[in-house]
Structure 1
Amino acid sequence: MKPKLNQMLRCAQSKKEQQEAIEHIDEVQNEIDRLNEQASEEILKVEQKYNKLRQPFFQKRSEIIAKIPNFWVTTFVNHPQVSALLGEEDEEALHYLSRVEVTEFEDIKSGYRIDFYFDENPYFENKALSKEFNVNESGDPVSKSSEIKWKAGKDLTKRTGQTPNKAGKKRQHEEPESFFTWFTDHSDAGADELGEVIKDDIWPNPLQYYLVPDMEDEEGDGDDDDEEEEGLEDIDEGEEEEGEDEDEDGDGEDGEVRKGVQWVLRTFL
């Protein structure tokens, strides 16, 4: 009985030590969590500071972009994820898009808003369309947007089978819903991919997507130059080989002399 008692005591002691270790780990983890929260607050302050510093530059950029026709529709068409949402008529409507702005709220965690400004167009009455993402009182992500005032017979969200545009080469064969259905879709604000793409990818540097065709052309021109150089090298090599063949076959000047000597020897000797 005594060995079993000792074993039970050792087991109880081991469990007590484990419990104490777990409690100490929990205390340390609480300290780590406290520092993480403090870091998040500091990072938030830095982001808010630099968001304010960036605003004048965003404004200046928008003023310059306004001088370039079709800047934003070209940017969207060149973006692989956005182009997948564009039908031919969507692209036509976006030709009237003159300005895009993304505004992050002062409390960045609470959300952001995307504003699209349009010139007079044959599709809808709105001068601006907006979609806003924020957090409700329960802490759940929600979204809301402008109601599109479509002109008679021009509601692109009610049309099916739009003809794919050139960007459709990158898409699946099945034609997608209209780009403008995004303004009416509030089913999953926390996983709105288009909003995130515009805010985090396009808005920071739209120029990189506007210039995509030019960059591809430059790369293609370089390939052509390489091919031309290779072609020239092949021509030079071919000429050298032909010259060698001529000498071997006796078709050059030396060959003519040799033929003449051979004829004289055969004729007179």
Structure 2
Amino acid sequence: RGFKRGQPTPPYTKKEQQEAIEHIDEVQNEIDRLNEQASEEILKVEQKYNKLRQPFFQKRSELIAKIPNFWVTTFVNHPQVSALLGEEDEEALHYLSRVEVTEFEDIKSGYRIDFYFDENPYFENKALSKEFNVNESGDPVSKSSEIKWKAGKDLTKRTGQTPNKAGKKRQHEEPESFFTWFTDHSDAGADELGEVIKDDIWPNPLQYYLVPDMEDEEGDGDDDDEEEEGLEDIDEGEEEEGEDEDDGDGEDGEVRMKTGGLSQLWFMSLRC
């Protein structure tokens, strides 16, 4: 039925409304079908480019190995991860030599994060892993390495860890140990730390490793500005004194003015 803009919607019979609902349902089914098709095609593209990225990830790992404390610095500089680190966690992570994220070939079935450690005073493991996948029912689950702690060094059983400076800025309560993440499998479908490492840190860890350098550069600029302002204040003060002495002396007594002074598909596929 036609009606003009500004007029109330004409009444439809219940039969017409029911028919509209049925047609909406049919259209929605088509939309859902296209969404599923899009997800399948996106996964194919991701699979293709995952293979193409592997040589570059390998090369990047080789280069990172030349930089001491690269990974612990990256984690400490990340706002979400730093909030989980106590002082002893940070000390343990100084022995972290390599991080690898591996998405399973079909992508939607899950991924694994591997941490490789040098010999350290905390645990015997040379590598710690946490893996995320789906069970037979299609529900997300996780599993991880058992940490073989050395005597008296189990960080997950210690209380009162002091959060590092970055952590203090973000929360008042002391954080649990970072390493409790390896034993927490309560909600694999919403594992925030796993997602942050996979989707944010792993694609470009360098941006977090370089955070302090960028902040220092900005800070140096601020100091220079403050120094310039201070010098201007001194100059202005000297001029005012000169003005008092020359007041009333004609042209020499005129007021002089000075101007100065001057920057994360896996769970989508599960839902599909």
TM-score by length of 2: 0.83
Segments of 5+ residues of structure 1 without an aligned counterpart are 1-13
Range that drifts further, 16-25 or 105-114: 16-25
TM superposition shift of 1:239: 2.7
Structure whose CA Rg is larger = 1
The offset of 1:240, in angstroms, is 2.5
Give the root-mean-square deviation of aligned CA atoms. 17.3
How far did residue 22 of structure 1 move?
2.1
Structure 1 segments of 4 or more deviating over 3 A?
Answer: 249-258, 263-269
State the alpha-carbon separation in 1 of the partners of residues 171 and 181 from structure 2: 19
CA distance in structure 1 between the partners assigned to 2:79 and 2:121 by the alignment: 27
CA drift at 1:112: 0.8
Cα-to-partner distance string for 1:198-229 (whole Å, 9 max, x where unaligned): 11111111111111111111111111111122
Change in 2 beyond 3 A, CA 1:138/1:251: same
| 2:141–2:187 Cα contact (<8 Å) kept | yes
Residues 116-148 of structure 1 deviation map (CA, whole Å, 9 limit, x = unaligned): 000011111111000000111101110000111
Q: Distance in 1 between matches of 2:49 and 2:147?
A: 33
SS of 1:130's equivalent in the other structure is strand
Query: Structure 1 residue 250: deviation in Å?
Result: 8.1
1:112–1:254: structure 2 CA closer, same or farther, 3 Å change rule?
closer
Deviates more, 1:149-158 or 1:89-98: 149-158
How far is 1:195 from its partner? Answer: 0.5
Point out where structure 2 has 5 or more consecutive residues left out of the alignment: 1-12, 257-265
Q: Indicate if the aligned counterparts of 2:243 and 2:255 stay in contact, CA closer than 8 A.
A: no
Deviation by residue 1:173-204 (Cα, 9 ceiling, x = unmatched): 33222111110110111111111111111111
Separation of aligned partners in 2, 1:107 and 1:245: 83
Closer, same or farther in 2 for the Cα pair 1:245/1:221, shift >3 Å? same
Name the residue aligned to 1:151: 150
Q: Which has the higher contact order (CA 8 A, sep 6+)?
A: 2
Aligned to 2:267: 264
What is the alpha-carbon distance in structure 2 between the residues aligned to residue 268 and residue 20 of structure 1?
29
Alpha-carbon separation, structure 1, partners of 2:268 and 2:120: 96
Give CA-to-partner distance per residue, 1:15-50, whole Å, 9 cap, x none: 332222222222222221111111111111111111
CA distance in 2, matches of 1:215, 1:245: 46
Query: Are the equivalent residues in 2 in contact too, given 1:80–1:170 (CA < 8 A)?
Result: no
Residues 237 and 15 of structure 1, relative CA distance in 2, 3 Å threshold: same
Maintained 8 Å contact 2:81/2:193: yes
Give the direction of change, closer, same or farther, for the CA distance of 1:264–1:55 in structure 2 (3 Å limit).
closer
Maintained 8 Å contact 2:108/2:269: no
Could you say if the C-alpha distance between residues 23 and 241 of structure 1 is closer, same or farther in structure 2, counting changes exceeding 3 Å?
same
Residue 24 to residue 264, structure 1, CA distance change in 2 (3 Å): closer
Cα distance change, pair 156–27 in 1 and its aligned pair in 2 (3 A)? same
CA contact (8 A) 1:246 1:252 kept: no
Q: Residue by residue, what CA displacement relative to the aligned partner does 1:31-73 show, whole Å, maximum 9, x if unpaired?
A: 2111111111111111111111111111111111110101111
CA gap of 1:240–1:137, structure 2 versus 1, over 3 A, is same
Contact 1:86 1:178 (8 Å CA) reproduced = yes
Alignment TM-score, normalising by the size of structure 1: 0.84
Q: Distance in 2 between matches of 1:243 and 1:176?
A: 60
After superposition, the Cα gap between the structure-2 partners of 1:245 and 1:189, relative to the gap in structure 1 and judged at 3 Å, is: same
Name the CA distance, whole Å, in 2 between partners of 1:52 and 1:130.
21
Do the aligned residues in 2 keep the contact of 1:96 with 1:120 (CA within 8 Å)? yes
Richer in helix (by share): 1
Aligned-residue identity in percent = 97
State the number of aligned residues: 251
Partners in 2 of 1:78 and 1:88 — Cα distance? 14
